A = this chain, B = another copy of it.
Amino acid sequence: MSDELGGLYGVVLAGGTGTRLWPLSRAGHPKFLHPLTGTDASLLQATVDRLDLLAPMDRIFVVTGVAHAAAVSRQLESIPEANVLVEPSPRDSCAAIALAAAVIARRDPEAIMGSFASDHLISDKEGFTEVIRKAMVGAREGLLMTLGITPTRPETGYGYLQCGNAIGDGPVLAVEEFKEKPTYDVAEGYVKSGNYLWNAGMFVWRVDAFLAELTRQQPQLASGISRIAQAWDTGAREEVLGEVWPTLPRISVDYAVMEGAATVGRVGTVTGDFGWNDVGDFHTLGEVLAADPSGNVIVGHDLEQKSGVLLRETEGLVVVPTQGRLIAAMGVRDLVIVDTPDAVLVIPRERAQEVKSLVDELKELGQHGYV
């Protein structure tokens, strides 16, 4: 079946800082570079490894910024150098995805591409692979496919997909509307209705279908990307990138393309239940990684050996040790304790989202060294 469909081109977006994972995640060392997976693999490496049943390594592309190009390249040694696309400056997700689509289209104009965040955890790789294969069926028909996650709670931190009828006789549902992060009451209504899915921000489409929608809805962005793509394999690439890239609008792919495409019936979804987690904060990270019998989760290196952590009479902790240092805790519960080479964080799990505000405060205080 995989042969019948042709392979997938995988695009991994390695951008964003992950402020709610401070002090582990920093502007200089964002979360996708960290081993938050319960193994030695970074989130970025796990994202690429997860695609190996779908795409050979020479069909995997990563889009990243100038600050992390070197680290990303070294973590992903198995993908070709030419597949590391480095943005001159951050222009949000639409430009990044469009660049990858245009570069891939030069090689294979009808290629099916999947776009994936580099900082999500997925526990069921086979289930994930199966869902992507289903999405590829819709993509082959020309639909822009977005992956929907069956909601398990009225989460206010995610966007939602409002679903319509099945398209054809397959598993593909039409997406009628993209809904922004809702209030709690609205989210409760979504979950009860059964018609809404979490928007996981993972997309599968034919590059020609996507670029056509981009041209229809975002002509300026499309024409800039087109100029860059034409120069891509020439000596003028850096010149053109440097000139055109800064003029591209900063806009997310949801706003720029997906919402408008849904309105005209060009977006479909398949439901994924493959243990997806966006690793937004330490609390949710603790929910997906393996815990000890007291519910304590130790993240990162030394998971087997645990030599860097001493817990006595603790419950429900999320502990992030750093190499060569010890964290000792006794008689506390439901706390996040993070140690890094220059900063320690202690916060209740239920307030883990608010780490962001601590980072904001450090910036206000001019303590940029810690941010």
Contact = CB atoms under 8 A, between A and B. Distances in A.
Interface of A: 23, 307, 310, 312, 324-332, 335, 337, 339, 342-348, 351, 354-355, 357-358, 361-362, 365, 367, 370
A293 B289 CA distance: 39
Nearest to A321: B344
Given A332-B335, A347-B331, A342 B357 contact: no
Contacts of A365: 310
A330 B344 contact: no
Contact of A310 (B328, B335, B337, B362): B362
- Residue among A324, A331, A344 facing the most chain B CB atoms (10 A cut-off): A344
A368 to B, nearest CB: 12
A328 B351 contact: no
Contact of A342 (B325, B330, B335, B355): B325
A339 B346 contact: no
A358 B325 contact: no
Q: Give how many copies assemble into the complex.
A: 2
Contacts of A327: 343-344, 346
A361 B329 contact: no
Nearest to A339: B344
Contacts of A23: 326, 328
B310 A332 contact: no
Nearest to A365: B310
A24 to B, nearest CB: 12
A318 to B, nearest CB: 12
24 contacts: A307-B367, A310-B367, A312-B361, A325-B342, A325-B344, A326-B343, A326-B367, A327-B344, A328-B343, A328-B346, A328-B347, A328-B362, A330-B346, A330-B354, A330-B355, A330-B357, A331-B347, A331-B348, A332-B346, A332-B348, A335-B346, A337-B344, A337-B346, A339-B344
Contacts of A310: 358, 361-362, 365, 367
Contacts of A351: 330-331
A214 to B, nearest CB: 42
A361 to B, nearest CB: 7
Contacts of A346: 327-330, 332, 335, 337, 346
Given A310-B362, A330-B355, 19 more contacts: A23-B326, A307-B367, A324-B342, A325-B344, A326-B342, A328-B344, A328-B347, A328-B358, A329-B345, A330-B346, A330-B351, A330-B354, A330-B357, A331-B351, A331-B354, A337-B346, A339-B344, A344-B344, A346-B346
Contacts of A328: 23, 343-347, 358, 362
